[in-house]
Amino acid sequence: MFIKSLQVSEIKTISDTGSGEWWDKEWTTGFYKKPVGGAIHLGYEGFAKDDQADRRHHGGSDKAICVYSDDHSEFWRDQLGDFEHGAFGENFTLANACEESVHVGDIYKIGEEVLVQVSQPRQPCWKLARRWKIKDLTKQVESSGKTGFYFRVLNPGCVEAGQELQLIERGKYSLAHCNEIRYRDKKNREALLKLAYYPALSASWKDSFLNSLAKL
């Protein structure tokens, strides 16, 4: 696994008004991330010069780095056309990082000092659909299982494109398994219990599993 591309963005306001379509309103976002050349500092809550417009749902310690696998690029290129690095608003575009092989709780070392841990699958939001102007794109991503994921930062430092991620510790549950339980197998009490109390999983995802349990 290695970093094919690293992207950050400042917050900006996008306007497509006048089209008469459902996306026809002004919005403010940090979704449009651009590649960084050279090393950039990574802190506990994300990269220098990387901003989120909605801090309630994006960013924070459990979502410090948004990650997407370049292995999925051909699939989405067939669906969407032009699909460059950062097209899904990710900070890291990684090679060899599919949801079946990456686990919540995995700890990776980058360079000499940086340590990151997989905290949860990505839960696509409306901004993904808004960016691509495809109303059901969020559901398409969920259904495909090609969601991407987030890292929390255990030890900060500088990182850059081209660096390898060395697996230091393997987590217990794959991202694919977490997605399966959240989106399709919502009545699997045993799996819900295990994930709801899995320490490495983000608080928001543990709460979602607890809520599913309460409905059974």
For residues 105 and 183, give the distance between their C-alpha atoms in angstroms, rounded to a whole number.
20
List C-alpha distances in Å: 207 to 2, 11, 39, 60: 31, 29, 36, 17
What pLDDT was estimated at residue 154?
98
What pLDDT was estimated at residue 126?
85
Give the predicted TM-score (pTM) of the model: 0.94
For residues 201 and 178, give the distance between their C-alpha atoms in angstroms, rounded to a whole number.
10
**Apex 74 CA angle, 164 and 72, nearest 5:** 50
Domain ranges of the chain: 2-171
What pLDDT was estimated at residue 57?
55
What pLDDT was estimated at residue 53?
53
* Class level of CATH domain 2-171: mainly beta
Along the chain (216 residues), what's the average pLDDT of each consecutive run of 10 residues? 96 75 78 93 94 64 96 96 94 97 98 97 90 92 96 98 98 98 95 98 97 96
